[in-house]
Amino acid sequence: MTQPQTQQQNISSEVLNATYQQAVDVYQQLLLSLALTAFTDLVMYQPCERKYLIGLASTLHALEQYRYALVFYGYASLLDARDAGVTVTFRIAQCYPGNRAN
């Protein structure tokens, strides 16, 4: 049985850090489709990295994909419940007015 392609690849932390920085840069430039792709790739490779989850959730939030943003904000809050009130809970609350409109 063969492993999925992502498990066969050995991606260095330098490559992951560079990809993360590129994702943040394109997010800040409002190139949201590029940010979505980059953050999705990062989350697929390291699903327990909180900053990748928050980046993906923030991108989905900016794209008004509130339900999906809530899922990834929720995952991020589970990874560090001590910080949830500072970073994630506020963003979750922002999603609800748009989510109710759907």
Q: Is the pLDDT of residue 26 over 80?
A: yes
The ranges assigned to domains in the chain are 12-101
Q: What is the C-alpha separation between 37 and 102, in angstroms, rounded?
A: 24
Which sign does the torsion angle of CA 67, 98, 29, 49 carry?
negative
pLDDT value at residue 86: 66
CB 77 within 8 A of CB 89: yes
Fold annotation for 12-101: 1.25.40
> Token pair for residue 76?
């991020």
Q: Is the pLDDT of residue 2 over 70?
A: no
> Token pair for residue 2?
């063969």
